[in-house]
Structure 1
């Protein structure tokens, strides 16, 4: 494994306790040039996870609290008339940063959600007819609360599909939670210091593109995705974009593990977060109390692994 990557992940895990797998998956998404949707109850460290990552890689960070009255221009920016200079001036919005946290994205109407998702896809913003490119390194983490749906605007499946991963943040173990409590109350929580630079991170992203994927692995990924369309408990199967997401993120996972090729285990490690927001259980399965994550894991496990 790359020494810089090893040190960065180790430091990340000490700053965000009890979320080792999610920390690694978030970094994987960054290296795969994707964005993440993070779901979890309040107080489980979703904001801390994203903010800490930005600090570790010396990236600019902005947080937007999504509310029902938030307008697209509040995210992208607007043009105002400067009376002193008798000219129009463009005020860029908070989206012009390296790392953007869209907090509770499901609390704002579809028009505002679409403004953010368009920028994620195109990596550019149009303000009053003029197009502005976003930074070379641009990463969005959107959060949503799974227990309060009153007054929310759930992301449609097509918009969720724009996220590379959906991460679910659960409560940490008793040991990790106790350690968080002790460090915060005693004021001993270490200040996060930068471990690398934006330029070095961009170089890692380029290195990930060089990771090779054999034909047998590509076929393995497609078999998993196609099986989501033929499973009785699943009403809406995964699209081709899901296969691309698994392939790209498996390359990033392999890179983190220090390899320049993908193994079936890499695919298994990224399949769940790549698929959980892209498929829908059938109404019958939901009535039966079928667990989506377990369904995906069983499906992946049933596909023959290439040798």
Structure 2
């Protein structure tokens, strides 16, 4: 998505902070399993959620969709990021992001890890073990939750660890949704050791993708990955009782959205090739109600 590089509008350089935040808010309308910035987020924090999301969306799109030299594009993205800490960026996303970074004293390292994940995607297309894939998620997913916690002033190890569980679970959900799409890009995010555990292989996965349906061995492997994600959701759910009420609602919405996708995948027999498992508008509204009315007491 070339919006990531937009710095001009009708020939005029957009540098005003208000316009930069408006631009980031537009980016949040990109499809997700859950509403990225819902009314559960305190109004004063919504622009900063949008700035963080626009950064994350941008770096992912460069790593997945950029038609030119992706490593070069990611290097320019990193240059703009570093200017947030050392100078004055000019790309719209970073104009807003710099303000958010300064207001909340956000560290540079989580942002850099997200770039590193997308650099890996250009050269690493297989993960042999769960441990290798989990290490990738520490770059591709976990930094997002840690940055959100930092907006609320939380930087302690316990909350960050629980946030990591939720973020990794959401990343696994995304992998399971997009098995076919990732195969088109030459990527496989199912650990090879898990495929072998269930008596199948990359070759069988590719064969089933071409015919549009999965054999029982692959279905059992997908079911296993679903349960791994569910276990991480259950582990991380305790975070919802350790943060302010409004943040708790938003975190619960993220978790319920991810679990709803897993349920949709179960309903179609653990076959992501049948259709992409998603959460429809009515289900999203129901999830918001569940988040609001079934929140657990805080610790």
Q: Say whether the fold is shared (TM-score over 0.5).
A: no
Q: Which has the higher contact order (CA 8 A, sep 6+)?
A: 1
Give the TM-score, by structure 1 length.
0.31
- Which one has a bigger Cα radius of gyration? 1
